A and B are shown apart, each in its own frame.
Chain A
Amino acid sequence: MAVAYPIPHVSKQTVTNTSALLKFTILAVISAAAIASRLFAVIRHESIIHEFRATKVLAKDGFYEFWNWFDPTAWYPLGRVVGGTVYPGLMVTSGIIYNVLHWLNFPVDIRNVCVMLAPAFSGLTAIATYLFTCEMADESTGLLAAAFIGIVPGYISRSVAGSYDNEAIAIFLLMYTFYLWIRAVKQGSAFYGMLAAVFYGWMVAAWGGYVFITNMIPLHAFVLVLMGRFNHKIYISYSSWYVIGTLASMQVPFVGFLPVRTSEHMAALGVFGLLQLVAFVETVRKLVPGKQFQLLLRAFVIASFVIAFAVLVVLTSSGWIAPWTGRFYSLWDTGYAKIHIPIIASVSEHQPTAWPSFFFDLEMLIFLFPAGVYLCFRELRDEHVFIIIYAVLSSYFAGVMVRLMLVITPVVCVTAAMAFSKLLTTYLDPTVPEIDDDSASVTGDLAAEVDATINKTKTKKSAAVDTKKTVGAAAIKRGIYSLDTRFLVVLPLIGSLIMFVYHCTWVTSNAYSSPSVVLASRGADGSQHIIDDFREAYYWLRQNTKQDAVVMSWWDYGYQIAGMADRPTLVDNNTWNNTHIATVGKAMASNEAVAYPILRQHDVDYILVIFGGLLGYSGDDINKFLWMVRISQGVWPDEIQESNYFTNRGEYKVDAQASQTMKDSLMYKMSYYRFPELFGGGQAVDRVRNQVIPNTPIQLDTIEEAFTSENWIVRIYQVKKEDDLGRELPAASAFNAGQRLKKSKSAKSTNKKR
């Protein structure tokens, strides 16, 4: 056999051993790299983590205390049943790790466990992806896929150290469940089906996105049945997965009976029923020959499927089975949320994905992705069908919501690795295809055999042109002939791999590793300035206000206040009560006279606003203000109207032209209170909106400034209690401001009377 370049001769045993060692080492290095690249945030800044109070309770008081934990400080005055309204997987996982470490005399702080959980599970994800890809293709592809998922920004964006989110462990569970499912389907093993179910149960406990698996696996089984690939392996693996998985998922209190009562889960149940029917038909078909009988049976299958579907529809319409939830609708219709659930639309990560972000998050993988899917079509084994379905579904979801980029990332890595690996194996394979002697003899140029291979192809091509028919009979072996072709392809491939690593590292370090709480800026001399206003203010709240002082802020900062300031909040990032959020929005958007009763009814002691006008921090409350208005308009359309906050020309402005409603709103007043004073009579420019703030002093009657951070990013106001003398607060503050004001007013009124 001709080779393009010499290969050293080693025994087969040595090759196996070396490759096993190499595989292990490479996988270990990939895991390490996956963990290491997520540590930028911790090394650059530190481990900042907001919401892990539930985990703290779990670690400190034990599992049952956590299960029954009622958090009175969140959603004041409603409180929140945390144990029952949360996906506990994340907390339980970190709680278990914490307890195991403590049992081994490693007194690790629960906080550090939480911080390092996401990187650690990313390392595991790399391994799970390796296993999954090995089922699809060969092991070298698996290693490539593991390397891709290890550092791809689309996944890192959700799993840097310190991001204590459900997604931190969910992607590992997703990949591992899929791996086990594929294995179960391939082997027809009830054991692997059960394992898949157990991991599915863990996934259900960990992330609301488990619905994706709940629909992916049935869809895979269903498509296989439609393709006529039904066999006992699918039957065994699906049945074991569905039964155990559903039971396991129902153990999570927050999920409860949802798997049998909501539309999202009905596909899994339907496919389960369908498989029983198909299996029954297959069995009967084997035993009873006869075409008519088969036809009858087929009719029976279809009829029962239709009946089952009809029953489903009836049950749904009669209310036994809950219809699709609003959050689900927003997946089908991107405009739905904006109209019906503004609270979902107000979150930036729920916006449709912009095209550049695909490249930003996946770089070259996004180009290789279709190629990989194509390769799946070429082979089209059962598991490849799975990849294809996964690719199609997740492409859609990733396009609908930025947040769901996370779901597409694993399949992109796997398919891209398949394509890449195919390219590499093709071009690195040293075998040179041989040309049959017959075809060579046809050309009559026997001496060409001794010539260089390039000449061979040339002559062969010319021969093919000349005598099509004669050569057509001869087998043309496909392959790469020369070394330079190999170099020409392999070198750019390696180059693109290197570029990929650079891109990933750059994106990770620049885009995804800055904790939202700490802002870093570069000075003129390149030195780093840390802007730590958030923690300055939160820590002030923690140390210098009463333990039970209620803090009102927009919901974005709820978890931060609860975690860092340790004070009760009205609303937080768990946006379960739209009305309560709308109430806060209303208080912020109304004038003082309307807002004050709301504040007092909710026992609000402090109001916290984020103001970026001095520093140019664009993520501040004035920029979010329209969402507050919209959300409260959804609940009180009579009192709050979005149009009132625009100028006559329909612009959103904060300068002198701003509408009166805007200027009277509590948010505007709190943001710009005393702001012009900083400029000492000069023009007070808001650096975010580049508008000049009018110099007229803002009068606050019902609240007073309590704390303003160094760069004015966080401003905290204290709500005044009712006046001791029973006056209206505006009157009281007017009285305090000076007698003359009051006199002139009364003088005017008396004049009028006269």
Chain B
Amino acid sequence: MRFLTTLTAALLAATTLAFDPSVWENTQIQRTYELGGATTNVQTVYTIKALKDSLEGYELVLRGPEEGEQGTDYWEVTQGGKVWESLMVSSATDGRKTVTIPLEATPSAPVTFTHSQILVHASHALPASIGQDDEQFLMFERNETIVESLYKTRKETIKYRSPSKKIISHSKAPEEYITVGANPSKKSGGTLTLGPYTSVPATVAVSSGALVREKGFTQSPMSVHYPFEEPVKTVEKLVRLVEVSHWGGNMNVEDHIRLVNTGARLKPRDNSPACNTKWPDSAPFFPAQIIRNIIYPLPPNSHTPYYYDVIGNISTSNFRPSHPTRGGPAILELRPRYPVLGGWMDEFVVGWDMGLQGWLRGKGKDKVLRVPFMTALPGVVVDEAEVVITLPEGARDVNVTVPFPVESIEHSVHKTYLDSVGRPRITIKKRMCVEKHEQDVFVTYTYPLWAHLQKLITVGVASAIFFTMFALAKRLNVRISKANVVA
């Protein structure tokens, strides 16, 4: 096994060795940062042109050589509004730093495609702690300012867009490659524009299979300070328990969520009460950085939702089921037990039931189950996600297909109510998930007819044994003598 991996690594190295930076050229790169709370959306529009005929595809840099495992946590490439399906399988967390876009190089018309990334935890609160009623400011920092590319770039602009039409300050923009005398940065309202940079050389190169910094080029870090009038929501841990019942035709989904407000912390030694007004109705003003409610969209036709925590039901929530005829998602509006102020944590469980139709397919005994990996919450980062799928007892030959690379997939057996042999259980783990990871996991398994009857037989046999033993015990005479017993 080990031999095999070394072999593939060597092969990979051999393919990348053949890399030629002069095949392609970036005519124009436009990068836009949509500054946010826990997530930052980065959209880079590449217009590329082939310089010579080659079968070699365009090599897109996902992460700079200095960047570690973290950083980009979701990316996709779209062309003409369509997602490049063949690249979808990859994700930045699988460790790779470049991806090959299968374009055939013909030096005719330029090609345009968009690379969308979501950065997690790229901004932090500055000042780190504020009073309850103060405004919250975030600081976005990234070492990479000039877009990393293996090819030369003719023209490049970088935009930072603040969510609040306001930017407090920013660090100095790199002045290299700027037309002499021109201002490297322009600030108008909530948008900061850097560039245009012209004739930027390749910033990285491939050396013996690894991505290295091109000699003579240095990245200068960039930071932007901006107000953020929303809470910074991070889910530290999400455990989704999915249980399938063929008898009930039901799929139960239960999300165990540990939510943290990772924005500016509530200033310690602050003499103001944590929450001094009645919320939510009578509150005339509520500081923006407090998590007061979470809109939790459920799949269409979900029913019987529940919302509780360790010490019981949380009575503050609203459920709007999907329209009986038109369908559409059901909306669950959750309110935490207490308003989650900066640095505070809340842990709770959300669960619901939904019919199996639409989620389970397959005739006869072969079944395909579709399970949503997570529920998309805009702007929320899930640091650790775990999806646990429990199949009905008697299911065999379980296979899992995941839409993106994950850390681990484990199979185990779970025993619960009236089980004799236990139920197959799949545990999928993944770190750093964002809303785009709301995709489906597919589980295939065989479920023979007799498995439907397994529980009935177990219960039947158990009760038969019980009654037989009771009948025997009732008829057994253990009396020593036939003494007269007073009734």
Contact = CB atoms under 8 A, between A and B. Distances in A.
A539 B269 contact: no
Contact of B344 (A46, A186, A544): A544
A530 B311 contact: no
Contacts of A538: 311
B273 A705 contact: yes
Contacts of B486: 186-188
B422 to A, nearest CB: 9
B337 interface: yes
Nearest to B272: A705
Q: Would you list the 3 A-B pairs with minimal beta carbon distance, nearest first?
A: A530-B315, A708-B273, A46-B313
Nearest to B275: A708
B415 interface: yes
- Chain B interface size band reads 20 to 34
A438 interface: no
A708 B274 contact: yes
A47 interface: yes
A674 B279 contact: no
B278 A711 contact: yes
Given A540-B338, A564-B311, A704-B269, A710 B416 contact: no
A120 interface: no
B345 interface: yes
B309 interface: yes
Interface in A714-744: 715, 720
B56 interface: no
Given A105-B416, A105-B417, A535 B276 contact: no
Given A46-B313, A710-B279, A540 B337 contact: yes
Interface of B: 269-276, 278-279, 308-316, 337-338, 343-347, 415-420, 485-486
A377 to B, nearest CB: 25
A84 to B, nearest CB: 28
Given A46-B312, A706-B274, A708-B274, A539 B344 contact: no
B283 to A, nearest CB: 10
A107 interface: yes
Q: Give the dominant DSSP class at B's interface.
A: loop
A542 interface: yes
Contacts of A46: 308, 312-313
Interface string A634-664: 0000000000000000000000000000000
Nearest to A537: B338
19 contacts: A48-B311, A105-B416, A105-B417, A187-B486, A530-B316, A535-B312, A539-B309, A539-B310, A539-B311, A543-B346, A543-B347, A544-B343, A544-B345, A677-B276, A678-B276, A707-B273, A707-B275, A711-B278, A715-B273
Contacts of B310: 539, 542, 564
A704 B343 CA distance: 18
Contacts of A536: 337-338
Nearest to A539: B337
Given A46-B312, A543-B344, A564-B311, A709 B338 contact: yes
Contacts of A705: 271-274
Contacts of A706: 274
Contacts of A543: 344-347
Contact of A674 (B273, B311, B343): B273
A532 interface: yes
A630 B407 CA distance: 62
Residue of B273, B275, B343, B346 with most chain A CB atoms under a 10 A cut-off: B273
A572 B287 CA distance: 37
Interface of A: 45-48, 105-107, 186-188, 518, 530, 532, 535-540, 542-544, 563-564, 674, 677-678, 704-711, 715, 720
Contact of A532 (B269, B337, B417, B419): B337
Contacts of A678: 276
Given A543-B345, A544-B345, 20 more contacts: A105-B420, A106-B418, A187-B486, A532-B314, A536-B337, A536-B338, A539-B310, A539-B337, A539-B346, A540-B274, A542-B311, A543-B347, A674-B273, A678-B276, A705-B272, A707-B338, A708-B273, A709-B338, A710-B275, A720-B269
Nearest to A708: B273
Nearest to B270: A704
A674 B338 contact: no
B276 A708 contact: yes
Contacts of A563: 311
A123 B252 CA distance: 33
A707 B268 CA distance: 12
Contacts of B271: 704-705
Given A105-B419, A705-B272, A47 B344 contact: no
B276 A106 contact: no
A106 B337 CA distance: 31
A542 B486 CA distance: 61
Nearest to A531: B315
A532 B273 contact: no
Residue of A48, A544, A564, A677 with most chain B CB atoms under a 10 A cut-off: A544
Contacts of B344: 540, 543-544
Given A709-B338, A711-B278, A106 B273 contact: no
Contacts of B343: 544
Nearest to A711: B278
Given A544-B344, A711-B278, A535 B417 contact: no
Contact of B417 (A106, A530, A544, A710): A106
Residue of B315, B344, B486 with most chain A CB atoms under a 10 A cut-off: B315
A47 B312 contact: yes
A710 B278 contact: yes
A707 B274 contact: yes
Contacts of A47: 312
A184 to B, nearest CB: 11
Contacts of B270: 704
A22 B158 CA distance: 86
Nearest to B274: A707
B486 to A, nearest CB: 5
Contact of A105 (B272, B273, B418): B418
Contact of B338 (A48, A105, A107, A539): A539
A707 B273 CA distance: 6
A674 B417 CA distance: 53
Contacts of B276: 674, 677-678, 708
A710 B276 CA distance: 8
Nearest to A544: B344
Nearest to A520: B315
Nearest to A46: B313
Contacts of B314: 532
A382 to B, nearest CB: 13
A704 B311 CA distance: 27
B275 A532 contact: no
B273 A535 contact: no
Contacts of A564: 310-311
Residue of A187, A188, A532 with most chain B CB atoms under a 10 A cut-off: A532
B459 to A, nearest CB: 11
Nearest to A716: B274
A543 B337 CA distance: 11
A678 to B, nearest CB: 8
Nearest to B417: A106
A105 B416 CA distance: 6
Contacts of B419: 105
Contacts of B347: 543
A535 B416 contact: no
A589 to B, nearest CB: 24
A633 B174 CA distance: 74
A107 B314 CA distance: 24
Contacts of A720: 269
A679 to B, nearest CB: 12
A532 B345 contact: no
A249 to B, nearest CB: 28
A715 B310 CA distance: 21
Contact of B416 (A107, A532, A708): A107
Nearest to B462: A104
A720 B309 CA distance: 31
Nearest to A106: B417
